[in-house]
C-alpha cells in the first residue's frame, strides 16, 4: 500500500511540474535552466579581476604617497638639525632665522655668515701710535645722547692725515664702507663682520689701503658687492689729525637702559653696543687696559641711562618719534630734538645736561651743586631748577687735564663761580616731561614755564 501511495505522489508531482512549465510557455517565459555559458563566465571573471587590479593599484599609490611623505618629513627634519651640504650658504639652511641673525643681516647688507663669536686679538693701531682710549658715553656737540663708540686718540692728535696705520682686529669680513665728505677730505666708516651675531666698526679713517680701495671702487661702479675678507693685523686704511671711532656690537645683547628700544631704529646697532673688553683675547685686553682713562665701573663706559618713571636718561621732542624722525632721510640736525640728563663719561658721579637746541646750538653743561640727581626726580617731585655751569676735568691731585695726556681716573670739575643759564623741567607723566632753557639766567630769576616750553617724551 505504501509503495502504491509513493508512486501516486511522484506522478502527481511530475504532473504539477509539467503544468507549471506549460503555463510558463504560455506566458512566453524562458524555461531554460539559469546556467552561464563558458564564454559568459570567462568575461565575468575577467571583469572581476580587472576591478580587483584597479583597487590594488589605487591602494599601492596611496601607500607610496604616505610612505614618501613620512620619508620626506624625517629627511627634511634631519637637514634642519644637521645640515650637511657645505656648498650652500648658511642662509639656505632650512630653519627660521632668529631675531639676532635678522638684525645682523640688516647691519651687514645681508653678507654676514655663521653665528660664532671669535675674540678680537689685535689693536686697531700700533700700541705707540695712540695715547689713550676715551670710553663710551661722551656727550659733545651734536652728540646730544651719550656716544655709542670709543675713541682711540692718536699720539700726536694734530698729526697730518694718513699718518697712522689702521688694521683689522681679527680675521673678519668688511661688509660696509660708508664715505663722508668733509672740508678736510673724505672719511670712511667700516663695518666688520665676524659672524651674523658679532661685529666691530671703525669711523673717521682718512684713507683706504690699496686692496680695499680697489674693492670699494668696483662696488661703487656696480661691478661687485662690497665684501672683502681680511686677516687680523691686515692694513685697511690710515688715519691722522683725529681720533679713530670704535665699538663692538653683539646681536644677542640688548641694552636694558633704553625704555623704548624702538626709538633707536634709525641706528640699529646702538642697542647692541657692548663692552669691548668682553670680546678681547686676554693679551689684547691687557694692552687696552693700560690706555684706559676711566677707572669707574663699567670702565669701558655706558650709554643707556633711562629709568622708566624717572628723569634720568634721554628724551625726544614731542612729535619727533625717536632718535631720527621719520622722513629725515639724511639725518640732518636730527639731534635738535634730543635732550639728555646723564652723567660724565669719565666721572659717573657728575651730572651732565645735554641739550640739542640751547638758543639754537647743541650744548652740554655740568650742574651747579651737582643736584638733584635726575635718577631721583619723578612725577611727585614737581618743578625742578638746574643751574648750568661749564665743565672740565682734573687729575686726582687736582691738576688740569690738557686732553692730550693719559691720566687715570679723571674727575669732572664744575666751574660753579659762573652760571651760564638755568633750565626748568617737570615730569608730567612717567614718559613725558616739560622743559625750558633760560640762557644767561640764574635760578633765582626763574619761577614758571613760559610759552616757549617744550614737551619731550620717550
Total tally of structural domains belonging to the chain = 4
Would the pLDDT of 207 be above 70? yes
Confidence of residue 41 (pLDDT cuts 50, 70, 90): very low
Per residue in 123-140, pLDDT (tens digit) is: 999 999 999 999 999 999
pLDDT at position 298, please? 98
In a domain, 300, yes or no: no
In a domain, 254, yes or no: yes
In a domain, 390, yes or no: yes
Residue 260 shares a structural domain with residue 374 = no
Would the pLDDT of 235 be above 60? yes
Name the nearest CA neighbour of 214 among 199, 194, 236: 236
SS3 56: helix
Residue 335 shares a structural domain with residue 441 = yes
Residue 267 shares a structural domain with residue 314 = no
pLDDT at position 97, please? 82
pLDDT at position 2, please? 47
Residue 215 shares a structural domain with residue 340 = no
Q: What is the pTM of this model?
A: 0.78
Do residues 458 and 315 lie in contact, with contact meaning Cβ atoms separated by under 8 Å?
Answer: yes
H or E stretch covering 186: strand 185-193
Residue 113 shares a structural domain with residue 179 = yes
Q: Which structural domain range is residue 49 located in? A: 36-85
Confidence of residue 192 (pLDDT cuts 50, 70, 90): very high
Confidence of residue 221 (pLDDT cuts 50, 70, 90): confident
Residue 122 shares a structural domain with residue 247 = yes
Confidence of residue 53 (pLDDT cuts 50, 70, 90): low
Residue 202 shares a structural domain with residue 281 = yes
pLDDT at position 105, please? 96
Would the pLDDT of 28 be above 70? no
H or E stretch covering 81: helix 38-81
In a domain, 299, yes or no: no
In a domain, 68, yes or no: yes
pLDDT at position 64, please? 60
Residue 135 shares a structural domain with residue 278 = yes
Give 286's DSSP letter: H
Name the percent of the chain lying above pLDDT 90.
Answer: 75
In a domain, 267, yes or no: yes
pLDDT at position 386, please? 99
Residue 222 shares a structural domain with residue 139 = yes
Per residue in 301-343, pLDDT (tens digit) is: 999 999 999 999 999 999 998 999 887 756 678 999 999 999 9
pLDDT at position 318, please? 96
Would the pLDDT of 95 be above 80? no
Would the pLDDT of 75 be above 50? no
Per residue in 261-310, pLDDT (tens digit) is: 999 998 999 999 999 999 999 999 999 999 999 999 999 999 999 999 99
Confidence of residue 56 (pLDDT cuts 50, 70, 90): low
Do residues 328 and 334 lie in contact, with contact meaning Cβ atoms separated by under 8 Å?
Answer: yes
Which residues make Cβ contacts (< 8 Å) with residue 275, sequence separation at least 6? Answer: 248, 298, 300
Do residues 334 and 314 lie in contact, with contact meaning Cβ atoms separated by under 8 Å?
Answer: no
Average pLDDT taken over every residue of the chain? 86
In a domain, 296, yes or no: no
Average pLDDT on 354-381 reads: 98
Confidence of residue 450 (pLDDT cuts 50, 70, 90): very high
What gap in Å lies between CA 214 and CA 133, rounded to an integer? 31
- What secondary structure does DSSP assign to 334-380, as a single string? GGGGEEEEEE-SS-TTSEEEEEEEETTEEEEEEEGGG-S-GGG--TT
Residue 340 shares a structural domain with residue 388 = yes
SS3 171: coil
Better pLDDT: 184 or 203: 203
Average pLDDT on 351-362 reads: 98
Q: What are phi and psi for residue 353, nearest 5 degrees?
A: -110, 120
Half-sphere exposure of 439 (CA within 13 A, CB side): 10
Domain C-terminal end among 264, 290, 316: 290
Residue 311 shares a structural domain with residue 451 = yes
Name the nearest CA neighbour of 236 among 165, 170, 162: 165
Would the pLDDT of 351 be above 90? yes
Residue 429 shares a structural domain with residue 385 = yes
Average pLDDT on 99-121 reads: 97
Q: What are phi and psi for residue 141, nearest 5 degrees?
A: 55, -130
Sign of CA dihedral 205, 210, 211, 216: positive
Better pLDDT: 190 or 4: 190
Do residues 137 and 147 lie in contact, with contact meaning Cβ atoms separated by under 8 Å?
Answer: yes
In a domain, 156, yes or no: yes
What gap in Å lies between CA 75 and CA 69, rounded to an integer? 10
Do residues 228 and 210 lie in contact, with contact meaning Cβ atoms separated by under 8 Å?
Answer: no
Give 301's DSSP letter: B
Average pLDDT on 411-433 reads: 98
Average pLDDT on 82-97 reads: 43
Would the pLDDT of 222 be above 90? no
pLDDT at position 118, please? 98
Amino acid at each position: 500500500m505504501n509503495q502504491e501511495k509513493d508512486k501516486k505522489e511522484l506522478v502527481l508531482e511530475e504532473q504539477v511540474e509539467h503544468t507549471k512549465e506549460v503555463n510558463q510557455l504560455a506566458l512566453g517565459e524562458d524555461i531554460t535552466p539559469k546556467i552561464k555559458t563558458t564564454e559568459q563566465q570567462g568575461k565575468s571573471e575577467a571583469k572581476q579581476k580587472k576591478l580587483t587590479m584597479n583597487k590594488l593599484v589605487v591602494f599601492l599609490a596611496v601607500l607610496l604617497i604616505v610612505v614618501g611623505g613620512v620619508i620626506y618629513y624625517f629627511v627634511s627634519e634631519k637637514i634642519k638639525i644637521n645640515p650637511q651640504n657645505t656648498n650652500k650658504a648658511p642662509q639656505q639652511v632650512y630653519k627660521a632665522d632668529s631675531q639676532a641673525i635678522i638684525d645682523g643681516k640688516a647691519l651687514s647688507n645681508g653678507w654676514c655668515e655663521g653665528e660664532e663669536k671669535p675674540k678680537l686679538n689685535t689693536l686697531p693701531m700700533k700700541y705707540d701710535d695712540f695715547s689713550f682710549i676715551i670710553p663710551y658715553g661722551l656727550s659733545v656737540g651734536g652728540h646730544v645722547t651719550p656716544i655709542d663708540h670709543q675713541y682711540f686718540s692718536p699720539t700726536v692728535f694734530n698729526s697730518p692725515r694718513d699718518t697712522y696705520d689702521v688694521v683689522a682686529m681679527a680675521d673678519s669680513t668688511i661688509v660696509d664702507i660708508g664715505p663722508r665728505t668733509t672740508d678736510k677730505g673724505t672719511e670712511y666708516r667700516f663695518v666688520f663682520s665676524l659672524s651674523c651675531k658679532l661685529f666691530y666698526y671703525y669711523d673717521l679713517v682718512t684713507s683706504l689701503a690699496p686692496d680695499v680701495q680697489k674693492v670699494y671702487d668696483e662696488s661703487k661702479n656696480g661691478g661687485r658687492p662690497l665684501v672683502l675678507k681680511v686677516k687680523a693685523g691686515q692694513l685697511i686704511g690710515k688715519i691722522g689729525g683725529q681720533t679713530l671711532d670704535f665699538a663692538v656690537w653683539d646681536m644677542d645683547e640688548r641694552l636694558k637702559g633704553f625704555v623704548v628700544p624702538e626709538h633707536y631704529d634709525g641706528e640699529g646697532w646702538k642697542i647692541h653696543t657692548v663692552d669691548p673688553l668682553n670680546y678681547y683675547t686676554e693679551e689684547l685686553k691687557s694692552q687696552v687696559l693700560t690706555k684706559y682713562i676711566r677707572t669707574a665701573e663699567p670702565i669701558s663706559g655706558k650709554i643707556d641711562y633711562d629709568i622708566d618713571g624717572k628723569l634720568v636718561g634721554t628724551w625726544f621732542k614731542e612729535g619727533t618719534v625717536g632718535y631720527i624722525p621719520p622722513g629725515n632721510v639724511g639725518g640732518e640736525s636730527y639731534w635738535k630734538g634730543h635732550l639728555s640728563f646723564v652723567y660724565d663719561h669719565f666721572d659717573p658721579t657728575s651730572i651732565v645736561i645735554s641739550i640739542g637746541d640751547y638758543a639754537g646750538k647743541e650744548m652740554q653743561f655740568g650742574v651747579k651743586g651737582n643736584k638733584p640727581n635726575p635718577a631721583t626726580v619723578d612725577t611727585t617731585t614737581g618743578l625742578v631748577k638746574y643751574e648750568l655751569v661749564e665743565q672740565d676735568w682734573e687729575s686726582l691731585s687736582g691738576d688740569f687735564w690738557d686732553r692730550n695726556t693719559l691720566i687715570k681716573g679723571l674727575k669732572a670739575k664744575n666751574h660753579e663761580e659762573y652760571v651760564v643759564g638755568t633750565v626748568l623741567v617737570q615730569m608730567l607723566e612717567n614718559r613725558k616731561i616739560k622743559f625750558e632753557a633760560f640762557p644767561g639766567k640764574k635760578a633765582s630769576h626763574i619761577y614758571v614755564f613760559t610759552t616757549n616750553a617744550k614737551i619731550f617724551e620717550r
